[in-house]
């Protein structure tokens, strides 16, 4: 069986990077993913994320947010885009001494639905940029804000009988251009 893959088009990746950057100090960012879903002959799956829609109306409490992923997905499906809703993305930011974990929380897992994807971006404060090693399951970059350097690690999760991680593919050269 071929591995399951999430392909992020440039505009989708840019949308996530910008959304994460905007809220990096204050809150988690959160939004909906749109695109195409394809099943291969051997039951392998590809999610092609064409664009993202940051959700501006999540309830914010302190540094975390409250959302109901199922409701948000339903709401997003009312829009008449030709691309369908594939899932959601959100970030975990550093709070006080703790860095943002790049894994799903218990609450995140409860919200997952069969074949929906969840892109999670864990954000840590770091002192200095290192070399990013190639990892097919991870997209990493270094956001900056007011002299603070962060490392953002994005992972793609989906539910198919159990929680799994998909291979992530994206045009990573957008990060070089932004420096
Ligand atoms: Zn979370």
Tell me the per-residue pLDDT of 37-91, one tens digit each, with 9 for 90 and over. 999 888 889 999 999 998 877 777 666 777 777 888 888 888 777 789 999 999 9
Ligand 1: centre distance to CA 127 (Å): 24
Query: What was the pLDDT predicted at 8?
Result: 97
Q: How far is CA 88 from CA 30, 54, 75, 120, 146, in A?
A: 7, 9, 12, 9, 28
Share of the chain above pLDDT 90, in %: 53
Q: Which of 67-71, 97-101, 136-140, 164-168 has the lowest mean pLDDT?
A: 67-71
Residue 38 CB coordination number (10 Å): 12
Residue 91, domain extent? 5-177
Ligand 1: centre distance to CA 118 (Å): 9
Assess contact for 73 and 85: CB atoms under 8 A.
yes
Name the pLDDT band for 126 (thresholds 50, 70, 90). Answer: very high
Which residues, by Cβ under 5 Å, contact ligand 1, an ion?
105, 108
Query: What was the pLDDT predicted at 143?
Result: 94
Ligand 1: centre distance to CA 38 (Å): 26
Question: Number of folded domains in the chain?
Answer: 1
Name the pLDDT band for 107 (thresholds 50, 70, 90). Answer: confident
Tokens of 154: 């994005």
Write the CATH number for 111: 3.40.140.10
Q: Which of 84-93, 100-109, 118-127 has the lowest mean pLDDT?
A: 100-109
Tell me the per-residue pLDDT of 5-20, one tens digit each, with 9 for 90 and over. 999 999 999 999 999 9
Residues whose CB is less than 8 angstroms from the CB of residue 142 and which lie 6 or more positions away in sequence, other chains included: 126, 129, 149, 150, 151, 152, 175
Strand segments (E) across the chain = 5-8, 30-39, 45-54, 59-61, 64-66, 84-92, 117-126, 139-141, 144-145, 148-160, 162-165, 167-169
Give, as one character, the DSSP assignment of residue 68: -
């Amino acid at each position: 069986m071929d591995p399951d893959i999430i392909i992020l088009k440039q505009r989708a990746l840019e949308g996530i990077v910008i959304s994460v950057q905007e809220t990096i100090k204050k809150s988690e960012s959160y939004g909906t993913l749109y695109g195409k879903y394809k099943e291969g002959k051997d039951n392998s799956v590809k999610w092609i994320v064409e664009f993202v829609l940051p959700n501006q109306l999540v309830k914010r409490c302190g540094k975390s947010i409250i959302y109901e992923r199922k409701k948000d997905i339903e709401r997003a499906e009312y829009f008449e885009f030709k691309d369908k809703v594939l899932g959601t993305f959100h970030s975990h930011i550093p709070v006080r001494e703790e860095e943002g974990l790049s894994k799903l929380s218990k609450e995140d897992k409860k919200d997952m639905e069969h074949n929906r994807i969840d892109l999670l971006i864990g954000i840590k404060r770091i002192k200095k940029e290192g070399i990013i090693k190639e990892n097919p399951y991870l997209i990493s970059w270094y956001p900056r804000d007011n002299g603070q350097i962060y490392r953002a690690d994005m992972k793609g999760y989906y539910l198919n009988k159990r929680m799994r991680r998909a291979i992530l593919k994206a045009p990573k050269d957008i990060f070089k251009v932004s420096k």
